[in-house]
Structure 1
């Protein structure tokens, strides 16, 4: 390679290097002096947390799922749960969601109790996220017509036995400000739904599981159930599928 060729090659490399440096994020000039924040892309996610058959003192099939669409900061959430057969415990929510910290979101919207019983509509306000030690929790308060009030707490924790085998304790507790005989809700602590599920994640999106669950009425709601000749609570052997996309 002669001297002229060498000088030409050096000039080309210098020009390419200069162009790359000019386009580097550290040297580019942005409006306002700050690079754009990539948090306005639209994403969507849905998870079927419970899709299970409960066998024991009275068989029932239960589902519990939720999904959202939106950005990192603002989302629209949809939640639905219930038992099939005689469709009961039908709870469906549409919520606006705003991230208020790294791990927690503030949610507000509408809940509709829509199943084989009388329909009830509530305004909802609550929080959802990961607490200390990565407990997944939801705490929501509700206000309905005729002075009705309610509150719900849900919590779960994933204990990794292996990378694929996961043990999950879970609990849901419901409180009501006044009794609602038509829906078998008692005032105060009304009902509890809990479980201990062992799932195997064939993939992160597909995980069959087995477990033991308990669903029962408490306090005044227990008395209402017995007046109707229905079970006030029972434990079940449970098997089902957890999936998300």
Structure 2
């Protein structure tokens, strides 16, 4: 039986056509194809340099590092040309207050103006203040001529002379002060004065612009004065002498013209207050004001 099975198998094989056998001759199971190589294999993401949150190392990054390559004199000349080409001279004239005030007697007036010309670093600065009444003319007028130098982005150091024009009571002063912008956008103007008579006085003003709308402005202002000695001819004692506070609401008709109304309170302090009372003068007052502010 076993021999018969072998014979039948051989016969079946012989019955298969030769072309069919030829089609599969030498065929085998194909080998698996490897995946294509990753073009980014071995690559890493670049490291992005970020700004250091800490202070700059002045030794690693000196302020004028190019001096070490080109020389200090060459780079100093180059910086001079750069600053000269990028320095702009500007100017401004501003009448901050030109107003009339209510009073018991004649109509009072008051003026406060300034003008300057120069660069962001150095300016020539003029300041004018005056007050009086319509019947007798100016009672107290002051003019300052100052050199102003920026000591940081916010404040200027101002030095110069101040001349007071008072009937029979003129004074000439040396003036040294600071002017600039304090935190919360408060404009500060302070100064110490030394007169030719050896009198030392001081004054500080603070003003804040509040924009109620694009055109409606409110300007509260405070001024404090002091003296190191008594000045009987000016009815001024030593220590704190005057405190003035007020607020003016203006309507900006144009970028340069702003009419306003407001109120101002002034009070003599300390020894000055006693001198005013002894002379039967008012030591304090509250006055309504109306005026105009404009700039050029």
Q: Tell me the residue number matched to 1:45.
A: 92
Tell me the residue number matched to 2:78.
32
1:63 equivalent in alignment to 2:129 = no
- Find the partner of 1:175 among 212, 220, 226: 226
Structure 2 CA distance for aligned equivalents of residues 34 and 238 of structure 1: 50
Greater strand fraction, Structure 1 or Structure 2: 1
Q: For 1:227, which of 256, 278, 282 is the aligned residue?
A: 278
- Show structure 1 runs of 5+ residues with no match: 1-29
Q: Conserved in 1, the CA contact under 8 Å of 2:129 and 2:141?
A: yes
Residue deviations 1:26-57 (CA, integer Å, cap 9, x gap): xxxx9738972345333211111111111144
**Cα contact 2:219–2:249 (8 A) shared by 1:** yes
Question: Map of 1:96-135 to 2, 5 A cutoff?
Answer: 96-135=147-186
Is the deviation greater in 36-45 or in 60-69?
36-45
Change in Cα spacing, 1:228 to 1:159, as seen in structure 2 (3 Å) is same
Q: Relative contact order: is structure 1 or structure 2 higher (C-alpha 8 Å, sep ≥ 6)?
A: 1
The Cα shift of 1:146 comes to: 3.5
Q: Choose which of 204, 213, 216 in structure 2 pairs with 1:153.
A: 204
SS at match of 2:280: coil
Deviation at 1:204, TM superposition (A): 1.9
Unaligned runs of 5+ in 2: 1-74
Matched, 1:79 2:127: yes
Partner of 2:295: 244
Shift of 1:193: 2.2
Secondary structure of 1:36's counterpart equals: helix
Give the root-mean-square deviation of aligned CA atoms. Answer: 1.9
d(CA) in 2 for partners of 1:91 and 1:220?
Answer: 23
| Cα distance, 1:33–1:44 mapped onto 2, change above 3 Å | closer
Question: Residue in 2 aligned with 1:4?
Answer: none
Q: Residues 126-172 of structure 1, C-alpha deviation per residue, up to 9 Å, x if partnerless? A: 11011111100011111123431011000100011101101110011
Normalised TM-score (structure 2): 0.69
Residues 87-143 of structure 1: CA deviation (Å, up to 9, x unaligned): 233221111110111111110001111122501111111110111111000111111
Partners of 1:33 and 1:112 in 2: CA distance:
39
| d(CA) in 2 for partners of 1:34, 1:77 | 25
Aligned-partner Cα distance in 2 for 1:181–1:33: 55
- Contact kept in structure 1, 2:132 and 2:140, CA below 8 Å: no
| Counterpart-to-counterpart distance in 2, 1:139 and 1:117 | 27
**Secondary structure in 1 aligned to 2:275?**
helix
Partners of 2:95 and 2:248 in 1: CA distance: 14
